[in-house]
Amino acid sequence: MAKAKEGGSGFTRSALFRIGTLLGLVLVIFAFVRTTAVPASFGEYGRYRGDNITENVNKEAGFTKDNSVCGKCHQAELQTLAGNEHQALNCESCHGPGNRHTEQPAAVSLKITETAELCSSCHAEIAARSEDKIATVRPFMHSGGGDCVMCHNPHRPLARIGGEVQ
């Protein structure tokens, strides 16, 4: 009788030990996976990696703030631009992103070599493009395929031939 009782409790004990060990192992594995698989900053602000905000914000800007940045060196061009049809334009709309140029003016050139296509993106005649808002032409009929700068100075667009006379 006593022997049977002893044996029974021994079995219960070993079963409990086994379950306990198993539970412990599960906890250990969970803790291990949780610490290695989930990035440190995950959940800092929401269900995402908080560090990613800084990564996104730290991306380099290609375009500068506005024309005042360009005007620091290119005052003459800005003065030419003042008061004419193109004065509201941003330099970088035509010249492209200028941040690199401000850092290395000699190495990174923003010179425009071809204008027919560039000017056409705004000034080509398309039915959806209202003539009330912008002067449009049929590029080939207008210049015969020639570059716009042959006659127009983009910084003073309506002054004829080289842009010196107006």
Interface positions with another protein (CB under 8 A): 17, 20-21, 24-25, 27-28, 31-32, 34-35, 39-66, 88-90, 92-93, 96-97, 121-122, 124-130, 133-134, 138
Residue with smaller CB distance to another protein, 92 or 155:
92
Q: What are phi and psi of 61, to 5 degrees?
A: -85, 135
Q: How far is the CB of 50 from another protein (least distance, A)?
A: 7
Residue with smaller CB distance to another protein, 47 or 164:
47
Q: How far is the CB of 2 from another protein (least distance, A)?
A: 20
- Cα separation, 14 vs 18, in Å, equals 6
- Cα separation, 85 vs 81, in Å, equals 8
Residue with smaller CB distance to another protein, 18 or 162:
18
